Structure 1
Amino acid sequence: MTSPTFRRVGGAALAFTLAVLPMSAARASQPELKPAPVVVTVSEGTNLAVSTSPRDGTILFDLQGQLFTLPRDGGTATAIGDTNLDPYWPSFSPDGKLIAVQSLADGMFRVRLLTADGRSSWPLTRGEYDDTYPAWSPDGTRIAFTSDRAGGEDIWTVDTRGGEPRRITTAATAESQPTWSPDGRGIAYVQGNTIESIDVATGAVTTLVPAGQGTVAAPSWSPDGKSLSFLRIGPGGRTVQVWQAGAIRQVGAHTDVFPFPARWSSPDELVYGANGAIVVTQASSGASKTVPFRATFTLKRDHYEPKARDFDTRRPQPVRGIVGPALSPDGRSVVFKALNDLWVAPLGGVPKQITSDSAYEIDPAWSRDGKQIAYASDKAGTEDLYVLDLATNQHRRITTIDGAEYAPAWSPDGKTLAFQDQANQTLTVDIATGTVTAVLPGSFSVPGKPSWSADGKTLALAVNSADRNQIQLVALATGASKVVEPAPFGSVSTRGDDGPVFSPDGRWLAFSMDSVLWVLPVAPDGTPTGRAHRITTEASDAPSWAGDSRTLLYLHNGTLKLTTVDGGSKEVPLRFSYRQEKPESRLVIHAGRLWDGRDPEPRTNVDILVVGNRIQRIEPHQPDRPRGGWTFIDASGLTVTPGLVDAHNHQQMRSKVFGDRQGRLLLSYGITSTRSTGDAVYRAVEDRESLAAGTRLGPRYFMTGEMLEGTRLLWEFSRPVRDERQLALELSRVRELDYDLVKTYERFRVDWQAKVADQAHRQGIGTTSHYLYPAVANGVDSKEHLFGPSKWGFGFARESSFGGPYEDVLQLAARGRMLFSTTLFSASTLLADDPGIVADPRVRALFTTQDKQALNAKLLCAQGLGPCGFLDGTPAQARRDVELIKRLLAAGAGVVAGTDAPLDTTAVSLHLNLRSMAKYGVEPFQVLRSATSVPARQLGVDKDLGTVEAGKLADLVIVSGDPTRDIAALADVRWVVKNGVPRTVDDVIGPFR
C-alpha cells in the first residue's frame, strides 16, 4: 500500500490513500419511521376551483389539489379521487356522470376523466405533450383543451371515447382556456388580453372581449348562449365580469375571485370560488350567497431521528466531491477538482496537486497532445482562463476580461480555447494573441460546457430547448446552429459536466441521459447518424474520453469508473481523505449583550468561553479573569448573537462567477450556515468538504444535489426523472453522496414525491418542494417560498391569492408542522431606507462589477428612479408578503428566512428579508429566530447550532447595536466566529480588500 502523504492548509490535514474508507454513519444507518396521521378540517379555501353537476346540482371543488363533492346547499364535503391525482380545472360532464380534469399524475399534463364518485380514472390524452384546460362540448362527446403538441399553444378537441385529437386553432399566437358555445358550433378562448371565438366548422374567428384594463381569463358560456362570463384581473384584484351582446359589466362584489371559470348552474346563476368561499351569484342582480362546507384532510407526518452528524471528529473522511474529472489523452491519468484545488493522478495512483492556494479553480481540460491543462481560476481577482504547461510547471493567464470566464475546451490543433462567461455566452480565445470571438449570445438559460468536433469546425453543448436539455451544434465558420435531441423527447441529465462530449475521432457524442451514460453516433458536424445506445446502468455523470475514442471515464456517486463504447465498467481506485478543521485554541468573548436565541431579551455583561470549536460555558463577566493561554475579544460595547442561516440558497448556481468571494461574502454578513435547495451535486459535495476541511473560507454548507424534476425543466441544476428505474438511481445518489436535504421540483410526480420523502426520512434527512398539498400529506417537511413558481407557472399558487391565504393553508401548514421559507424579493424595496448598503466595504470588495451594477439597479428601482426587474417588488407587495408571514405565525406555522440567492442578492438579501419582516410587524424575537434557531431545528442540527449555549458549536456573530431592538444592527458585523475561529470583517475580506 502506498504511504499517505499530508498537506496542511488553514490547519486542516489532508490524507491521501488508496485504502477503501468506511461509509459514514449517516449513510450506514436508517432511522425508524414513526408516521403519525394528522386530521385537519377546514371551512375556507384558497384558490379553490368549483363546478356543478347539471344532473342534481352537486358541487365539485378542487381544494389544495384534492377533489371534493358537496351537496348543493353545503355541508360536509366528501373527498373523491386519489391523493396523487394532482387535478386542476375540474368540470362535470353535461350528464353529470363524469369529471374532466387537467392532471399531472403521470408526469405530463393530460386530460383525465373520472367517474363522478372518483373511484375510477383514466387518461384521455397521451404523448409527450401538455394538454390543459379541458372543456366539455354541450353533447358530452368531445372535450376541447389547450395543447402544445404542434409547438405553440392551440385549441384542440378529442372524442371522449379516445382517439387522435383534432387541431382547431392554427394562429401563431397562443390560445388557451377554451369554453364551448351551447350550440356546439363555436369555442371561445383567451388570446393575449382578449377573448376570441372560433367557428369549429369554418375556422372563422371573432373577438368577443377586446383588450382592456388589466388581463382576462377563464371564459365560460351560459347555458342559453346569451352571456359569457370571464375574470378581469387588475390592481384591485380579480372580479367576475359578464359579456352580453357586446356590453360588459361586473357581477358580484368579490374582488378575490379565484382564477377558474365561474360555472353557470342556470342561465342566470354562477358558482365560483372567491374570498375563501364557494359563492353563488345571480348574474342579473349581482346578489350573492356563500355555500358553507367542511372539508377534511388526513396527513401522514413522519417522526424520524435526524441523521448523525459528527462536527468534532478528526477521523479521515472519504473525499467524494470530485468535480469535472477529465481523462488524459493517453488514458493513463485523470485531472479533477477537489478540496479547493486541482489534482492530477495516474489511474490507480496517488493524486498530486497542480494548484495550491485559496483561489477557486474549476473546469480542468487536457490539450489533445496531453502536454497542457487549461482551467479557470480567480487568483487574479475574478475567474480567468489559465494554461498549465506540464513540462515546465508554468501557469499562463489567457484571459483578462472584467468578469468571469470558465469551462475551457481545447480545439484539436491546440491553438484556441472555447469557453463561457457569466452572461452565459459561448466564446473562443486565441491562445497566442488573446483575441476573443463571440460564438453564441447569452441567455437566461445556462448552457453546458462546450466540446469541439474532431475537425475543429463545430462546437456541441447542452442547451435548454422546448423545456428539455438538448444538444446545440454550432458551425464556427458561419455561426449557423441547430438543436438536435439526444433521443426522442430525451434530456441530457444536467447542463453542466454531463456532456455532450465529442470523441477525439468525431464519431460519437457521449452524454448522461436518464442519469446513465449514452453514446450517439454522429457525422463530423455532430449530426446524429443513428440512435444513441446506453453504456452504463448505474448513476453516471461527467463523461470524458481517452484518445482512443473508445474508453470513457465517468463519475458514479463519488467514485471514478472506466467504461467503453461497448459497455462494461470497472472502478478506478482513486480515493483519498480529508480531516475536518478543528481549532485547538481557547477564546473568551466579553459580550456587552448576548442574545442567545432562546429568550426574547438579551443578557448583559457576560463572558463566552470557547474551547476548540465549542462553547464551554457562559458566565458573568470577570474583569480579572486570568489571560494565560486564552485569546480575548473585547465586545463589551457590542452584541453577540448566534450565527445566521440562509435557509434557501443555491450556492453553486453562480459559484463559478463568485469563486472565492462567495463564502467570504456570506461570512462577512454574519451568515455562518447555508441550506442548499438545489445545486449541481458534485460541486456541492466538493464545497461542503472544502468548507469542512478549512481549505475554503465560508459558512457551513448543508447541501443537496440537483432538484428532482419531471421530464420538462428549466434550471441547469434540475435533473429530469423519467421512470422508476431512474428514480432508484437518484435515491442511490442521495444515499451515497450523503445529502442533507432532497428537493423535488415543480413537475415531479406527487406519488414519487411520497417515495422520496419516505426514503429520505429513513436516512434521517428532510425533503422540500414548492407545494403545500399533497406534499404535507405525503410527509414532505417544508415548503420553499411563501408562494412561487409552480407547475402552473408564476401566475398561480395554491398557497395565496389576492386576499389569502385562508384557513386551509394556515391549518395545513400549522397542523402539518410545515415550514415556509420567506424568499422576500419584495424586500429589496427596503434599499430605499438604507441606500448606503450599495457602498458598504463588503459590497465594494466582494461583489463583481456586474453584481454591483445589479444591486445599484435594485436601489434605483426602490427609490423610484429607475426600471424594476422581473423579481423586484413594491412596498405594497412587501407589506402583503409580510402579512402572510404574520398570519402563518399566528396560526402556529413556522417560517425560516431564506433568500433564493443568487437570484436575489447574495448575503445582503438575507438582511433585507429580516428588515422587511420587522418593518411590517413581525416581532423581533420571531424575526431573529427565523434565521437562527428555527432553521437549525429544520436541518436537524439544533443540538449543535442555532442558539448560544454551553456545549454547542461556536458559530457566532458580533455586531454593533442591539438587533433585538433594531434588526438593521445585524448587518453591522464586527466579528464572525465560525467553528470557534474568530475573524474580523477585514480578515474575511482578505485578499479582496
Structure 2
Amino acid sequence: MKFRFARVTLVCAMALVPAPAASAAPDIDVTVSEGTNLAVTASPKDGTIVMDLQGQLFTLPRGGGAATRLGDGFLDPFWPVFSPDGSQIAVQSFADGMFHIRTITPDGRSVRQLTDGEYDDTYPAWSPDGSRIAFTSERGGSADIWTVDVRTRELEQITTAGTQETQPTWAPDGRSIAYVQGTTIEGVDLGTSAVRTLVPADRGFVSAPSWSPDGRRISFVRNNSLQIFEAGAVRQVGPHRDVFPFPARWLSSDEVLYSANGRIAVTDVAANTSRLVPFSATFTLNRDQYPRKAYDFDTRRPQPVRGIDGPALSPDGRSVVFKALNDIWLLPIGASPTRLTSDGFFEADPAWSRDGKLIAYASDKGGTEDLYVRDVASGQERRVTSLPGAETAPVFAPDGRRLAFQDQAGQTSTVDLAGGSVTRVLGPLNAPGKPSWSPDGRLLALTVSDADRNRIMLADVASGTTRVVDPAPFGSVSTRGSDGPVWSPDGTLLAFSMNSTIHVLPVDSTGTPTGPDRELTREASDSPTWSGDSKTILYLHNGVLRTITLGGRPGVVAHGLTFTQDKPDTRTVIHAGRLWDGRHAQPRTDVDIIVVGNRIRRIEAHRPDRDRRGWQFVDATKLTVTPGLVDMHVHQQMRSKFTGDRQGRLLLSYGITATRSTGDPAYRAVEERESLAAGTRVGPRFFMTGDMLEGSRVGWEFARPVRDERQLELELSRVRGLGYDLVKTYERFPVSWQARVAGRAHGLGIPTTSHYLHPAVANGVDMKEHLSGPTKWGFGFSRESSAAGVYEDVIQLAARGRMPFSTTMFSAGSLLADDPAIVDDPRIRALYTPQEQQALLAKLRCAQGQGPCGFLDGSPEQARRNVETIKRLLDAGGTVLAGTDAPLDSMAVSLHLNLRAMTKYGLSPFTALQSATLLPARQLGVERDLGSVEQGKLADLVFTGGDPSRDVAGLADVRMVMKNGRLSTPDTLAGPFRSG
C-alpha cells in the first residue's frame, strides 16, 4: 500500500519554507534465499510450508522453491502454526497494536481475530482436535496459559501459578499442555491441574517446546541448538548451531521441520540426519522520492519562538512564567515578556508559590543544577540547594515553606526553605514526572512508569507510602515530564494530558478518583497548570500558549517572542597543516581555509604573504582539520536537566558539531534547537524530533502512547506545528500507522526512522536505528540479528532498499581498555557530572575485566561481530552511520569509541570518518551545507593533534573546534565548570 499526500507548509528550524509532496518511486524487488530468525510451519494436509520471514508470511512447496507471499503486509505475524486439518494457520498478530491470536486461511483471503482487549496474547498452539488454541496471556495478572475456543471465542485460564508460563505445546492425546517455565519445561494435566516437570533445568535459556505426534519426544531449543527430550534424557540433534527460537514442527514421529542458520531444515531425530529445504522469497519495497525540508542557516529574519518549556500560570491568572531561549521569562498576559535570567547557564522548571510572590527554578549557575527562589517584586533571589548532584522540578508546598523536587536518580525529596534541611520522600523511580502537591500539603501526585503505562502515583509526604491510580481505565498520562497530574488548588480535580489532550479527573482529598475523567481540549495539548481559583488551565498547543476554563473554549496567550540566528561577523584565515575534507581518503597539506562569517569562502594553497589586515589568523600548521562530527543517534534531552550547560560544551569539546535526536520531550527539544540556533546556548547544531510515537504501552518517559486514529492526527499536527526534523516510531507502534506516518512526514519533507527493517523498508521508512536493538518482542529477539549474526535477508533489504542503519555499538566500550586515559581526560573531569564520571569508570573496569559489566556493556567479541555486520552491509552497497544512543552510552566519548571499533576490526579510517561526517549530512538532507570542508559550506570544523585519516584515535585529540564560524577550545568550553 502506498500513501501520497498533498503539498503543505512547514515551520522549519531555520525558516518558513514550502515542502513539496512525496512522489512515487519505482518499486524495488529484493529476492533472498536466507532468513534471519525466520519461523516455519507445515500443513498436515499436503506438507505445504508457511514461513514467517521478516514479518511477512510466505508459502512454498514441501520440497522448497520459490515462495509466494501470503496475506497483506500489515498482519505483523509471529509464531505461525497450522491447524491439525491444515485449513487454518494461527499466528500472534500485532496488527491492531496488541498481540492477539488470529487465524488466516492458507490462501490468505480470510483473517479472523480470536482474542482482543488490552492484553498481549502470544505463542499459539492448536489442540489435537483443532477445536481450541492454547496461548500465553497476561490477562490474569501474570503470564499464564489460556485457551480459546476457535468457534465461540470463549476463553479459559489453564495455569494460575503467578509465575511466567509461556510457549505452550499440546500433548497429542489432548490431556495436557507443556510449556516453558524459567529454564524448565513443565506440563499441566487439564483434568486435574496437576503440574509436573518434564524437562529439568539446565544452563542456558530454553524455548519453543514441541511434542511429537506419538507423545514420546519433546523438541526444544537451548543454547541455540535443537534438543530432544526422550525417555528421561536430553540429546542434541542436527548439525546447526544457530537454531532460531521457534517450535520445530513434527512432520512425523521422527522428522522435524525447523529454521536454523538462515535456512529451513528437516532432521530425522532417530537417525540424526538432516537436509535443507531451499527457498527464495521476493520482497517488494516502496522507497519514496521526496524533496527534503529546506534549511536556511543564513537568514537573519526574526523567527517565532515555539520552544516554550514548562509554562506555569500565576495564581491570579494574570501572568505566565516559562523557559525559552535558555532563560526564564515572565509574561504578563497582554504585555511583552521580560527575562528573569540572562546568564548563559541552563535554567529549567519555573514554578510559582501559592501567593504568587515567589518563583522557584533550577539552574547550574553554581556549578551543578540547584534550586533557586526569586522574589518577583524585588528581583532578589537565593540558592536553596547545593547538593552534589542535580536538583530539578521544584514545586512549592501550599504553605510556601517547602519545595518538593527531584534529582538525577529519580528520587523525590523536599527542602525546608528556612533551614535548608532535605528530606527524602520517594526512592529512585524510572524517570518520574514532575510532582504536584495536594492542597493540604499531605500528598504528592506524580506520573510513574507502572505496568507499561504512565500511571498516577500518590505519595504520603510524611511516611513515603504510595499507591497508584489510573488516569482512566488502561489509560496513560501522555508523557512523564510536565504533562501532569497537577492538583487543582481546591483539591477536587487532577489535570493532565492523556491521549495528547487535557483531561481532568475528579478526586477526593486523598487523590482517589470519584468519577471518570473528562476531556477539556480537542487539540494537541500539553503541560497543564492551574490558576489559583481552580477555574482556568494554561497549556501548550504546538508551540502556542493557551488557556481554557472548565467548560469553556480555548484562548490564546500571545507572547510575541522571536529569535534571530547567530551568525558571526568575522573574517578568518586558517592555515592547516593537513586537511581531511570528508570526500577524499587522503588529506591535503599546507592549505588556507578562508572563512567569512559562518561559511567557507574558499580553500587554497597556503600563502605566507597574505595581507592580514582585517583578518583573524588561526595557526593550525601542526594540526589536522576535519569536518565537524555528527552523532546520528542521541536522546539529548534525556538527562539535559541534570547535566545542564555541560552537555553542549562537552560535545563540542570532542569535535561533535551536530547531533540528531531519535526521541526527546518535544518542547524541551524545540527549546534546545532554538537556543542553539540563536547562540544563547553553547553546543552543536541540533536536528530534533519530539516524543517517540509509541503504541498503547509505553516505557520511556519521552515515548508518547498513541491510542487511536484521532490521536494520531494530533501527533502529526505537533510534528508540523513544531517543525520536527525527524519522526521516530517506536517498538509497539502498529505497522499500518508506521506506513501512514512515513507518507505524511515525507509530505512535510522530513524522514522517519524506527527499530525495524521490514515492513518499514517496504513502506517508505527512511532509516533503522541500531544494528540490532530492542523490539516489541523484547531485548532477546530481533528480526535483524540472531545468535550468529545476520543473514542475506537483512543485508539485501537494507542495501537494496537504501535504508541506513545507525551503529550504536555499546560493545565499543570494550575499547576503553585500549586507552584507559580517557577517563582522566580534562574534558571528562570538567564536563562530566560526578555521576557520569562514575559510570564511565565502571565501563573501564568492565572493559579491563576488573569489575562487573552493566546490562548494555559489550565485549571485544561483540564489537568484532558488530563491525563484521557493518562490513557486510557496506560491501552490499548499504550505508551505516555513526550513532551512540547517548546518554545511555557515554556522551561524546562513545562516538569516538564507535569509530575506533570500526577501524580496529577491519574498516578503513576513511570509511569510519565518513560515517560521522559526509554520510550523516546526506541523510539529514543538509549535504550542501555540512559534512565536508568545501567552498560554500558552513564552517563546522575540528582541529586535531593527530592524523585521523591514518588513525581515528587522533580524532579525540581536539585542540580547537569551530561551529558556524565561531572558534573555541576545550579549555574555553570547560571554563565555567573547571574546578579550582
Band of TM-score, shorter chain: over 0.9
Asked if 1:940 is matched to 2:925, the reply is yes
Instruction: Spell out the pairing of 1:372-387 with structure 2 (5 A cutoff).
Output: 372-387=358-373
Unmatched tracts of structure 2, length 5 or more? 1-10
1:90 equivalent in structure 2: 80
Tell me how far 1:150 sits from its aligned partner. Answer: 1.3
For residues 181 and 635 of structure 1, what CA distance do their matches in structure 2 show?
76
Tell me how far 1:988 sits from its aligned partner. Answer: 1.4
Work out which of the residue numbers 380, 383, 408 in structure 2 matches 1:422. 408
For residues 802 and 618 of structure 1, what CA distance do their matches in structure 2 show?
49
Tell me how far 1:796 sits from its aligned partner. Answer: 0.5
CA contact (8 A) 2:12 2:724 kept: no
Length-normalised TM-score, structure 2: 0.98
Tell me how far 1:253 sits from its aligned partner. Answer: 1.0
Letter in 1 for 2:810: F
Tell me how far 1:227 sits from its aligned partner. Answer: 0.4
User: Matched residue of 2:641: which SS?
Assistant: helix
Asked if 1:336 is matched to 2:322, the reply is yes
CA contact (8 A) 1:131 1:145 kept: yes
1:666-720 deviation digits (Å, cap 9, x = unpaired): 0000000000000000000000000000000000000000000000010000000
User: Matched residue of 1:582: which SS?
Assistant: coil
2:952 equivalent in structure 1: 967
Work out which of the residue numbers 460, 465, 468 in structure 2 matches 1:475. 460
1:680 equivalent in structure 2: 665
For residues 204 and 342 of structure 1, what CA distance do their matches in structure 2 show?
65
Letter in 2 for 1:909: S
Asked if 1:652 is matched to 2:637, the reply is yes
2:856 equivalent in structure 1: 871
Asked if 1:922 is matched to 2:907, the reply is yes
Asked if 1:135 is matched to 2:120, the reply is no
For residues 148 and 403 of structure 1, what CA distance do their matches in structure 2 show?
39
Instruction: Spell out the pairing of 1:351-390 with structure 2 (5 A cutoff).
Output: 351-390=337-376
Tell me how far 1:27 sits from its aligned partner. Answer: 5.9
Work out which of the residue numbers 61, 65, 69 in structure 2 matches 1:79. 69
CA contact (8 A) 1:519 1:565 kept: no
For residues 109 and 503 of structure 2, what CA distance do their matches in structure 1 show?
41
CA contact (8 A) 1:33 1:761 kept: no
Asked if 1:195 is matched to 2:185, the reply is yes
1:268 equivalent in structure 2: 254
Letter in 1 for 2:235: R
CA contact (8 A) 1:36 1:303 kept: no
CA contact (8 A) 1:26 1:738 kept: no
For residues 144 and 591 of structure 2, what CA distance do their matches in structure 1 show?
69
1:208 equivalent in structure 2: 198
Gap change, CA 1:817 and 1:983, over 3 Å in 2 = same
Tell me how far 1:291 sits from its aligned partner. Answer: 0.7
1:869-896 deviation digits (Å, cap 9, x = unpaired): 0000111111111111111111111000
1:182 equivalent in structure 2: 172
Asked if 1:299 is matched to 2:255, the reply is no
Instruction: Spell out the pairing of 1:637-786 with structure 2 (5 A cutoff).
Output: 637-786=622-771
1:816-837 deviation digits (Å, cap 9, x = unpaired): 1000000000000000000000
Tell me how far 1:911 sits from its aligned partner. Answer: 0.3
Tell me how far 1:566 sits from its aligned partner. Answer: 1.5
1:350-402 deviation digits (Å, cap 9, x = unpaired): 00111111110000000000000011000001101110011221111111100
Tell me how far 1:51 sits from its aligned partner. Answer: 0.5
Work out which of the residue numbers 929, 948, 952 in structure 1 matches 2:937. 952
For residues 373 and 272 of structure 2, what CA distance do their matches in structure 1 show?
74
Work out which of the residue numbers 518, 542, 549 in structure 2 matches 1:533. 518
For residues 101 and 990 of structure 1, what CA distance do their matches in structure 2 show?
59
User: Matched residue of 1:768: which SS?
Assistant: strand
Tell me how far 1:629 sits from its aligned partner. Answer: 0.9
For residues 347 and 364 of structure 1, what CA distance do their matches in structure 2 show?
17
Q: How many residues align?
A: 968
Work out which of the residue numbers 476, 487, 500 in structure 2 matches 1:515. 500
User: Matched residue of 2:899: which SS?
Assistant: helix
Tell me how far 1:22 sits from its aligned partner. Answer: 11
Tell me how far 1:34 sits from its aligned partner. Answer: 3.1
1:490 equivalent in structure 2: 475
Asked if 1:172 is matched to 2:158, the reply is no
Letter in 2 for 1:636: T
Tell me how far 1:129 sits from its aligned partner. Answer: 0.3
1:148 equivalent in structure 2: 138
Length-normalised TM-score, structure 1: 0.97
Asked if 1:620 is matched to 2:601, the reply is no
User: Matched residue of 1:826: which SS?
Assistant: helix
For residues 203 and 22 of structure 1, what CA distance do their matches in structure 2 show?
63
CA contact (8 A) 2:425 2:462 kept: no
For residues 851 and 628 of structure 2, what CA distance do their matches in structure 1 show?
35
Letter in 1 for 2:145: I
1:15 equivalent in structure 2: none
2:212 equivalent in structure 1: 222
1:348 equivalent in structure 2: 334
Gap change, CA 1:162 and 1:622, over 3 Å in 2 = farther
1:860 equivalent in structure 2: 845
Work out which of the residue numbers 789, 803, 820 in structure 1 matches 2:805. 820
User: Matched residue of 1:391: which SS?
Assistant: coil
2:788 equivalent in structure 1: 803
Tell me how far 1:509 sits from its aligned partner. Answer: 0.2
Letter in 2 for 1:394: Q
1:98-139 deviation digits (Å, cap 9, x = unpaired): 010011100111011111111111211011000011111111
Tell me how far 1:53 sits from its aligned partner. Answer: 0.4
Percentage identity across paired residues of the two chains: 68
For residues 835 and 22 of structure 1, what CA distance do their matches in structure 2 show?
42
Tell me how far 1:23 sits from its aligned partner. Answer: 11
Deviates more, 1:107-116 or 1:743-752: 107-116
For residues 668 and 82 of structure 1, what CA distance do their matches in structure 2 show?
50
1:452 equivalent in structure 2: 437
For residues 242 and 919 of structure 2, what CA distance do their matches in structure 1 show?
33
Letter in 2 for 1:339: L
For residues 127 and 27 of structure 1, what CA distance do their matches in structure 2 show?
44
CA contact (8 A) 1:125 1:162 kept: no
1:258 equivalent in structure 2: 244
1:552-593 deviation digits (Å, cap 9, x = unpaired): 000000000010121411111222100000011011111111
Gap change, CA 1:592 and 1:285, over 3 Å in 2 = same
CA contact (8 A) 1:26 1:763 kept: no
CA contact (8 A) 1:343 1:352 kept: yes
CA contact (8 A) 1:362 1:376 kept: yes
Unmatched tracts of structure 1, length 5 or more? 1-20
CA contact (8 A) 1:591 1:637 kept: yes
For residues 567 and 120 of structure 1, what CA distance do their matches in structure 2 show?
48
For residues 702 and 745 of structure 1, what CA distance do their matches in structure 2 show?
18
User: Matched residue of 1:88: which SS?
Assistant: coil
1:231-277 deviation digits (Å, cap 9, x = unpaired): 012xxxx0000001111100001001111111111111111111111
Tell me how far 1:434 sits from its aligned partner. Answer: 1.1
Letter in 2 for 1:192: G
1:282 equivalent in structure 2: 268
For residues 94 and 600 of structure 1, what CA distance do their matches in structure 2 show?
61
Give every structure 1 segment of 4 or more consecutive aligned residues whose post-TM-superposition deviation is greater than 6 Å: 21-24
User: Matched residue of 2:946: which SS?
Assistant: coil
Work out which of the residue numbers 308, 315, 337 in structure 1 matches 2:294. 308
2:5 equivalent in structure 1: none
CA contact (8 A) 1:586 1:612 kept: yes
User: Matched residue of 1:113: which SS?
Assistant: strand
Tell me how far 1:285 sits from its aligned partner. Answer: 1.8
1:330-351 deviation digits (Å, cap 9, x = unpaired): 0000000000000001112100
2:3 equivalent in structure 1: none
CA contact (8 A) 1:27 1:736 kept: no
Letter in 2 for 1:263: R
